[in-house]
Amino acid sequence: MSSAFNVTDGDFEAEIEKHEGLAVVDFWATWCGPCRAIAPMLDQLALEYAGKAKVAKLDVDTNIMTPARFQVRSIPAILFFKDGKLVDQVIGAVPKSQLEGKFRQHAA
């Protein structure tokens, strides 16, 4: 069971852009191997940062509007939103320490 929840084009604004504090969105697809590789790390960070960061996943195959809005051209793409504004992003499968550093930086 994932600790991240799913967002769609339909609820992205309400769930992410109207969220106060840190919201982290994983843009992914089922066929993407690197996406599957980082999913457990994001789940773990979602648990570790519960109450400090909201962690969501957006399937780029079924939701095409939001990736286009944020110019997501390759996945996995992890976008960091602070009070609804895009403040950072990580593209590609990276070590957990790198993701954790971003969480630490923006959750403060």
What sections of 19-95 are H helices per DSSP? Answer: 33-48, 65-69
24, 32, 60, 78: which one is catalytic?
Answer: 32
25, 35, 55, 56: which one is catalytic?
Answer: 35
Mark whether 42 is an active-site residue. Answer: no
- Measured torsion, CA atoms of residues 15, 17, 23, 27, in degrees rounded to the nearest 10: 80
Structure tokens at 48: 């570790």
Report how far residue 25's alpha carbon sits from residue 54's, in angstroms, rounded to the nearest whole number.
8
Mark whether 4 is an active-site residue. Answer: no
Q: Return the active site residues.
A: 32, 35
